[in-house]
């Protein structure tokens, strides 16, 4: 039984881009909601978490995305707000140890 659930969940996850495209086009053509309609595409990376296929972990990219969405929806700062995404590689460079550092210590 649980094996069938996992197969069905995998099929839903695989079909999410196509479903989102249909929803986006329907919102655009029938209701003229092209601009807010793009948000249905956010379901693509979120769907495995919603269906319980993956567990949600808080990470710097997730926190930065949440801050960006709050800045955009709350204050309309979509344009200057995208700059905070540059913090993701900066954080990864400065605060995550790399494998090459481990090898350098052995010399």
Burial letters for 22-58: b for 16+ Cβ neighbours within 10 Å, e otherwise? eebeebeeeeeeeeebeebeeeeeebbeebeeeeeee
d(CA 43, CA 7): 19
d(CA 79, CA 71): 10
According to the model, what pLDDT value does residue 6 have? Answer: 74
Q: Which residues contact 28 (CB under 8 A, 6 or more apart)?
A: 34, 37
According to the model, what pLDDT value does residue 71 have? Answer: 92
Residues 38 and 75 in one domain: no
Residues 51 and 74 in one domain: no
- Please give the tally of structural domains in the chain: 2
* Residue ranges of the chain whose pLDDT lies below 70: 1-2, 98, 100-107
According to the model, what pLDDT value does residue 20 have? Answer: 95
According to the model, what pLDDT value does residue 98 have? Answer: 67
Of the three residues 13, 40, 56, the one that is the final residue of a domain is: 56
Tell me which residue range forms the domain holding 74.
57-107
Residues 11 and 43 in one domain: yes
Predicted TM-score (pTM) of this structure: 0.59
């Amino acid at each position: 039984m649980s094996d069938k659930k996992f197969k069905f969940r995998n099929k839903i996850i695989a079909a999410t881009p196509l479903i989102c495209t249909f929803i986006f086009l329907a919102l655009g053509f029938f209701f003229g909601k092209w601009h807010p309609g793009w948000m249905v595409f956010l379901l693509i990376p979120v769907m495995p978490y919603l269906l319980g296929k993956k567990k949600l972990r808080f990470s710097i990219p997730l926190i930065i995305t949440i801050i960006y969405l709050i800045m955009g929806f709350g204050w309309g700062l979509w344009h200057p707000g995208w700059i905070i995404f540059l913090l993701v590689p900066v954080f990864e460079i400065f605060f995550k140890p790399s494998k090459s550092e481990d090898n350098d210590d052995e010399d």
